Structure 1
Amino acid sequence: MSPVAFPTHRAAVLYGPKDIRIEDRLVWPPQYDQVQVAVKSTGLCGSDLHYYTDGRNGDFAVQSPLVLGHEAAGVVVSVGPGVKHLVPGQRVAIEAGVMCRQCDYCRSGRYNLCKSLWFASSAKTIPHHDGTLQDRMNHPSHVLHPLPDNCSFEVAALAEPLSVLIHASRRANLQRGQRVLVFGVGSIGILACALAKSYGAAQVAAVDINQQRLNFAKSNGFASRTYCLPAVDRAKTTDEQLRRARENVQRVLADFGTPDGYDIVFECTGAESCIQMSIYAAVTGGKVMLVGMGSRNVMLPLSAAALREVDIQGSFRYANTYPTALSLLSSGKLQNVEKLVTHRLRLHETARAFDLLARGRDEQGNMVMKIMIAP
């Protein structure tokens, strides 16, 4: 008998810092409960960029060749044994985290905290699990979500970062009529603004150090008020750092006409100074949601939080959010969300895409917000 010939496909494979190679790889048939998906659109995010520029993301270093990408949608090509709810030709969003479905966290609905969870495109687990910057991938069927008919692949790829904010807003118990402040208006911060607005927030304001991004947020209706923090030298002492944070917030709140502060503050930068400012910016009895991943250890003005009962809450990825995210993305309630996608490139241009994302501007000086990669 002649050997079985498997088809090949292309993948963008990271070997080390700024070393991405386009390779031909074999396409294996899906196994039990797996579905083979032709990836149609992948959005690049900050964690992907860290892997590309540094070969690591925080504590997780790339130990072997890794395919990045986890904000994605595509079309079902074939299904493995045991798959009943998906069929070839069906359009799906790809949830990259795969949980055990057996531990206490999974059974209680908090599978994002599952100790056995693995995440496509992350170097946390060894061997690594490849992400979506490839033409095809096999993925467990229970983390593939059918798309509404009016939801494009690009918009569906935004379900992953939007899920981060849906999860954070649930933890913060975001309600209609609340005032919301967002630190950092990259793509995550913009989605925080858009989600708060869709929930009926009384005011959505944004703070950043990049005036161009703030202009984007305001001109597209994501934030009604914006403030650009001036660039200054790093404070030499902790006391000076906290004093600056407090004084900066006083200026911001005065400019926004909200001297008492905000009900919910979404901190989307991970920068120590912004985390400190978030605490001062929250109203008495308010909440600070730590969304951004950045500084590993920070000095916090805990007395300013404790004496005013400001809750500081962490938020890690998401759980049970994709149906809500896809429903919102197809509903029209997130007005102008498609404008987050500023650049579109092909798979063979992946290295150039990461270089653009790192610079934040393209060759014509246009702002880079979200880059989508197509096959």
Structure 2
Amino acid sequence: MSDTKVKTSVLHGAKDLRLEERQLPALGPEDVLISVKATGLCGSDLHYFHHFRNGDIQVREPLTLGHESAGVVTAVGPAVSSLQPGDRVALEVGQPCERCELCLGGRYNICREMKFRSSAKAVPHAQGTLQELITHPAKWCHKLPSEVSNELGALAEPLSVALHASDRAKLEEGSTVLVFGAGAVGLLCAAISKAITQATVVIADIQQDRVNFAVENGFADAAVVVPLKQPRPETIDEKLAFAKEVAELVKGAKIGDKPVGEVTGTYECTGVESCLQASIYATGPGGKIMIIGMGNPIQTLPISAASLREVDLIGVFRYANAYPRVIELLASKNPLLPDLTRLITQRYTGMDNIPKAFEMAARVKDDEGNLVIKVMVDM
């Protein structure tokens, strides 16, 4: 341990965030010391904040949240030559073992020994980035060019999820894409589909304002509002009938005077059973469904409707080898890439306001009636 103490936001229980001082780990030969400047709040952070757990993962010791971050290098270890003090970086916060067959094969995101900052899966927990200073391996710090702000550097993390999903999909240019969920990750999947695949994008959500936002800001070409009604009693047949109804809404959505029809690929970003069911019915033969949303872990699916038409269901978990390409895209001024700064809808300054930021991130709209999409903390 070093002698340096840093101010840290620490979660001790549901909605129990405290500002504390923590001793900073010593700077290793291949590490850099980073002054954290911008951190976006993510859905997994919110689950931990509200429930002190994320799905089946229970927090077992005080945990610092935050993993969508960018900052400024303030010191470097003696073996570091790639970075120097003053460099701005985006932090890739997953630390795999780098020895196993998955890591050596380039799929380090699913390394069995992965330690991911702000996740309670590994014990001791890998502490997150909602702290003044953080020591991190230089290998997992990606230098930001002058064209990319600290806030966009923080967005590089969820944008990497979207790019990794696109990598897994391998859709041809000009495909028609459906995105279920118009939250931050869904909108970023739509943005990547626009910029990389040059796709026609249909976005679906239960909130009219969110899908309107997507179309008005160039993330999507057509919008579908998913009905809120739930079939009762919820027999399997009634659930699937509802999913088919949603799929028909997608197929009937119009771009100009032309209905969308069946889509080539679907990015399912909600984790909601009915949305994954509808994805199967809305995706055409030979199409692909990216399963991104981490919602209901047990779902009933019309699997024969997928297998008989060779619709592939593809799991997506975080990202691998995406950050450099994401940063290049952010700096490229690609005219097909929507303005991602519009996703940052609320900003909070200073660590004292982190609890307020979490409370806001759980809302649909703020007090002025503005959509809440991505809440950013300026440290």
TM-score, with length taken from structure 2: 0.95
Contact 2:272 2:295 in 1 (8 A): yes
Mean Cα displacement is larger for which, 78-87 or 260-269?
Answer: 78-87
CA contact (8 A) 2:153 2:327 kept: yes
Q: Which amino acid aligns with 2:53?
A: R
Matches within 5 A, 1:133-282: 133-235=130-232, 236-256=234-254, 257-258=258-259, 260-282=261-283
Aligned partners of 1:200 and 1:62: how far apart in 2? Answer: 39
Shift in Å, 1:348 = 1.2
Q: Is 1:321 aligned to residue 322 of structure 2?
A: yes
Q: Could you say if the C-alpha distance between residues 325 and 259 of structure 1 is closer, same or farther in structure 2, counting changes exceeding 3 Å?
A: closer
2:41 is aligned to 44
Which string of whole-angstrom CA distances, capped at 9 and with x for unpartnered residues, describes residues 239-274 of structure 1? 100011012211321133446410010001010010
Unaligned runs of 5+ in 1: none
Contact in 2 for aligned 1:250/1:259 (Cα 8 Å): no
Q: Does 1:341 align with 2:339?
A: no
| Change in CA separation of 1:61 and 1:5 when aligned onto 2, cut-off 3 Å | closer
**Pairs aligned (count):** 372
Amino acid at match of 1:143: W
CA–CA separation in structure 2 for the residues paired with 1:342 and 1:248: 29
Q: Distance in 1 between matches of 2:231 and 2:67?
A: 34
Q: Distance in 2 between matches of 1:131 and 1:291?
A: 22
Q: Percent of counterpart pairs with the same letter?
A: 47
Say whether 1:104 aligns with 2:108. Answer: no
User: Match for 2:18: what amino acid?
Assistant: R
> What amino acid does structure 2 have at the position aligned with 1:344?
R
Distance 1:16 1:234, change over 3 A: farther
Q: Are 1:29 and 1:80, in contact at CA under 8 Å, matched by a contact in 2?
A: no
Deviation of the 1:201 alpha carbon: 2.9
> Structure 2: where are the runs of 5+ without partners?
none
TM-score, normalized by length of structure 1? Answer: 0.96
Q: Which one of 344, 366, 369 corresponds to residue 373 of structure 2?
A: 369
Q: Which whole-Å deviations, capped at 9, do the CAs of 1:345-367 have from their partners, x for residues lacking one?
A: 02211111111111222122211
- Superposition RMSD on alpha carbons, in Å? 1.5
Structure 1 SS opposite 2:229 = coil
Report the residue type matching 2:355 in the other structure.
Answer: A
In structure 1, C-alpha distance between the alignment counterparts of 2:260 and 2:327, rounded to whole Å: 36
Deviation of 1:221 (Å)? 0.7
Q: How much has 1:338 moved relative to structure 2?
A: 0.8
Q: CA deviation at 1:209?
A: 0.2
1:359 alignment partner, SS class:
coil
Aligned to 1:350: 354
CA distance in 1, matches of 2:199, 2:121: 40
